[in-house]
Amino acid sequence: MPASRKSLLVLGNTIRVGIIVFYLAWVGVGFYILHYKTMNRVHSQYVATADLPVGHRLRASDFTIHPTVCPTVDADRLSPSQLTGKYLSHSYTTGKPLQRSDLSVAPVIVLGDKKMRYVFPLQKQLDLVESLNTGSHVDVCWKVCVLENARVLSIVGPSGQGAEYYAILEIAAGEDTNVAGEIANYRLFLRNE
Protein backbone atom coordinates (compact mmCIF):
# COMPACT_ATOMS: atom_id res chain seq x y z
CA MET A 1 0.00 0.00 0.00
CA PRO A 2 1.56 3.35 -0.98
CA ALA A 3 2.43 5.83 1.80
CA SER A 4 0.08 8.70 2.21
CA ARG A 5 1.12 12.26 1.78
CA LYS A 6 0.74 12.90 5.52
CA SER A 7 3.01 10.00 6.50
CA LEU A 8 5.63 11.13 3.94
CA LEU A 9 5.49 14.63 5.42
CA VAL A 10 5.98 13.25 8.95
CA LEU A 11 8.88 11.07 7.74
CA GLY A 12 10.50 14.06 5.99
CA ASN A 13 10.16 16.25 9.09
CA THR A 14 11.62 13.49 11.27
CA ILE A 15 14.61 13.12 8.95
CA ARG A 16 15.10 16.90 8.86
CA VAL A 17 14.96 17.18 12.67
CA GLY A 18 17.33 14.20 12.97
CA ILE A 19 19.84 15.84 10.62
CA ILE A 20 19.66 19.13 12.56
CA VAL A 21 20.14 17.34 15.90
CA PHE A 22 23.07 15.33 14.46
CA TYR A 23 24.64 18.54 13.04
CA LEU A 24 24.29 20.39 16.38
CA ALA A 25 25.75 17.41 18.26
CA TRP A 26 28.67 17.30 15.80
CA VAL A 27 29.28 21.05 16.25
CA GLY A 28 29.09 20.62 20.05
CA VAL A 29 31.69 17.83 19.95
CA GLY A 30 33.93 20.04 17.81
CA PHE A 31 33.68 22.93 20.28
CA TYR A 32 34.37 20.55 23.16
CA ILE A 33 37.53 19.25 21.45
CA LEU A 34 38.74 22.79 20.70
CA HIS A 35 37.99 23.91 24.25
CA TYR A 36 39.79 20.85 25.68
CA LYS A 37 42.91 21.57 23.60
CA THR A 38 42.77 25.25 24.60
CA MET A 39 42.55 24.31 28.26
CA ASN A 40 45.61 22.08 27.91
CA ARG A 41 47.54 24.94 26.33
CA VAL A 42 46.65 27.32 29.16
CA HIS A 43 48.13 24.98 31.76
CA SER A 44 51.90 25.07 31.68
CA GLN A 45 53.78 21.81 31.85
CA TYR A 46 56.17 23.18 34.48
CA VAL A 47 55.47 22.62 38.18
CA ALA A 48 57.01 24.28 41.23
CA THR A 49 59.57 22.14 43.09
CA ALA A 50 59.27 24.19 46.31
CA ASP A 51 56.97 26.72 47.95
CA LEU A 52 57.60 30.02 46.15
CA PRO A 53 56.48 33.44 47.50
CA VAL A 54 55.02 36.34 45.53
CA GLY A 55 57.82 38.20 43.71
CA HIS A 56 60.15 35.19 43.63
CA ARG A 57 62.64 35.35 40.75
CA LEU A 58 62.55 31.96 39.02
CA ARG A 59 65.69 29.85 38.72
CA ALA A 60 66.06 26.57 36.87
CA SER A 61 65.94 24.67 40.18
CA ASP A 62 62.53 26.18 41.11
CA PHE A 63 60.53 24.16 38.58
CA THR A 64 60.52 20.84 36.81
CA ILE A 65 58.91 19.55 33.63
CA HIS A 66 55.66 17.65 34.19
CA PRO A 67 54.77 14.92 31.65
CA THR A 68 52.59 16.39 28.90
CA VAL A 69 49.03 15.19 28.36
CA CYS A 70 48.77 16.23 24.74
CA PRO A 71 51.86 16.10 22.49
CA THR A 72 50.67 19.05 20.35
CA VAL A 73 51.15 21.36 23.33
CA ASP A 74 54.96 21.06 23.28
CA ALA A 75 55.27 23.67 20.54
CA ASP A 76 53.42 26.25 22.68
CA ARG A 77 55.36 25.59 25.87
CA LEU A 78 58.03 28.06 26.94
CA SER A 79 61.55 26.71 27.17
CA PRO A 80 63.12 26.61 30.66
CA SER A 81 65.50 29.43 29.68
CA GLN A 82 62.49 31.65 28.93
CA LEU A 83 61.10 31.06 32.44
CA THR A 84 64.27 31.73 34.40
CA GLY A 85 64.62 35.32 35.52
CA LYS A 86 60.85 35.97 35.46
CA TYR A 87 58.98 37.01 38.63
CA LEU A 88 55.92 35.35 40.16
CA SER A 89 52.85 37.53 40.65
CA HIS A 90 51.23 34.86 42.90
CA SER A 91 52.65 32.46 45.46
CA TYR A 92 53.01 28.79 44.54
CA THR A 93 53.05 25.61 46.57
CA THR A 94 55.13 22.55 45.75
CA GLY A 95 53.68 20.64 42.80
CA LYS A 96 51.41 23.43 41.55
CA PRO A 97 51.67 24.00 37.75
CA LEU A 98 53.17 27.35 36.78
CA GLN A 99 50.80 29.52 34.77
CA ARG A 100 52.16 31.73 32.02
CA SER A 101 49.80 34.51 33.17
CA ASP A 102 51.45 34.53 36.63
CA LEU A 103 54.91 35.35 35.24
CA SER A 104 56.14 38.92 35.00
CA VAL A 105 59.30 40.40 33.49
CA ALA A 106 59.05 43.32 35.95
CA PRO A 107 59.79 42.69 39.62
CA VAL A 108 56.76 42.08 41.81
CA ILE A 109 57.47 43.83 45.11
CA VAL A 110 55.22 43.51 48.16
CA LEU A 111 56.27 46.14 50.69
CA GLY A 112 55.32 45.95 54.40
CA ASP A 113 53.72 48.74 56.43
CA LYS A 114 56.01 51.63 57.41
CA LYS A 115 58.81 50.12 55.34
CA MET A 116 60.80 51.52 52.47
CA ARG A 117 62.77 50.09 49.56
CA TYR A 118 66.54 50.28 49.60
CA VAL A 119 68.40 49.46 46.38
CA PHE A 120 71.75 47.78 46.98
CA PRO A 121 74.18 47.11 44.07
CA LEU A 122 75.51 43.58 43.71
CA GLN A 123 78.35 44.36 41.28
CA LYS A 124 81.01 43.27 43.80
CA GLN A 125 79.01 40.29 45.07
CA LEU A 126 77.80 38.53 41.94
CA ASP A 127 77.76 35.19 43.78
CA LEU A 128 74.74 36.48 45.75
CA VAL A 129 72.64 36.88 42.60
CA GLU A 130 71.90 33.15 42.58
CA SER A 131 71.64 32.66 46.35
CA LEU A 132 69.43 35.65 47.25
CA ASN A 133 65.76 35.84 46.36
CA THR A 134 62.47 37.19 47.67
CA GLY A 135 62.17 36.35 51.35
CA SER A 136 65.92 36.04 52.04
CA HIS A 137 67.30 38.07 54.96
CA VAL A 138 70.65 39.86 54.92
CA ASP A 139 72.86 42.10 57.01
CA VAL A 140 74.49 45.18 55.41
CA CYS A 141 77.96 45.64 56.86
CA TRP A 142 81.22 47.54 56.47
CA LYS A 143 83.35 47.57 59.60
CA VAL A 144 80.08 47.29 61.53
CA CYS A 145 76.64 46.05 60.49
CA VAL A 146 74.44 49.07 59.89
CA LEU A 147 71.34 47.20 58.70
CA GLU A 148 70.48 43.86 60.26
CA ASN A 149 67.96 41.27 59.17
CA ALA A 150 66.82 43.25 56.12
CA ARG A 151 64.34 41.28 54.01
CA VAL A 152 65.13 40.93 50.30
CA LEU A 153 62.14 42.06 48.25
CA SER A 154 63.61 41.22 44.86
CA ILE A 155 66.75 40.76 42.80
CA VAL A 156 66.61 42.86 39.64
CA GLY A 157 68.82 43.16 36.63
CA PRO A 158 68.99 42.26 32.97
CA SER A 159 69.31 38.56 32.28
CA GLY A 160 72.85 37.55 31.43
CA GLN A 161 74.41 40.86 32.49
CA GLY A 162 75.58 40.11 36.01
CA ALA A 163 77.39 43.41 36.44
CA GLU A 164 74.07 45.25 36.65
CA TYR A 165 72.22 43.30 39.33
CA TYR A 166 70.69 44.97 42.38
CA ALA A 167 69.05 43.69 45.55
CA ILE A 168 65.96 45.58 46.64
CA LEU A 169 65.83 45.43 50.43
CA GLU A 170 62.94 46.21 52.78
CA ILE A 171 64.08 48.41 55.65
CA ALA A 172 62.30 50.51 58.27
CA ALA A 173 61.73 54.13 57.33
CA GLY A 174 64.77 56.21 58.27
CA GLU A 175 67.24 53.30 58.49
CA ASP A 176 68.79 54.38 55.20
CA THR A 177 70.67 57.08 57.10
CA ASN A 178 72.70 54.32 58.82
CA VAL A 179 74.58 53.76 55.56
CA ALA A 180 77.24 56.46 55.63
CA GLY A 181 79.82 57.05 52.94
CA GLU A 182 80.21 55.16 49.68
CA ILE A 183 77.72 52.30 49.30
CA ALA A 184 80.30 50.33 47.28
CA ASN A 185 82.22 49.73 50.54
CA TYR A 186 79.32 47.82 52.10
CA ARG A 187 78.68 44.10 51.65
CA LEU A 188 75.61 41.93 52.09
CA PHE A 189 75.80 38.88 54.33
CA LEU A 190 73.13 36.23 53.96
CA ARG A 191 71.52 35.20 57.24
CA ASN A 192 70.98 31.49 57.83
CA GLU A 193 67.49 31.38 59.27
Dihedral sign from CA coordinates of 113, 152, 46, 66: negative
Q: What is the pLDDT of residue 177?
A: 85
CATH code of the domain covering residue 26: 3.90.1210.10
Instruction: Inform me whether the pLDDT recorded for 126 exceeds 90.
Output: no
User: Among residues of the chain, what percentage have pLDDT more than 90?
Assistant: 22
Instruction: Note whether 83 and 3 are same-domain residues.
Output: yes
149-171: average pLDDT? 82
Q: What residues contact residue 154 under an 8 Å CB cut-off, 6+ apart?
A: 55, 57, 87, 107, 108, 109, 134, 167, 168
Confidence of residue 65 (pLDDT cuts 50, 70, 90): confident
Q: What is the pLDDT of residue 26?
A: 93
Q: Which residues pair with 190 in a beta bridge?
A: 138
Of 49, 72, 107, the domain-final residue: 107
Instruction: Note whether 85 and 14 are same-domain residues.
Output: yes
Instruction: Note whether 123 and 64 are same-domain residues.
Output: no
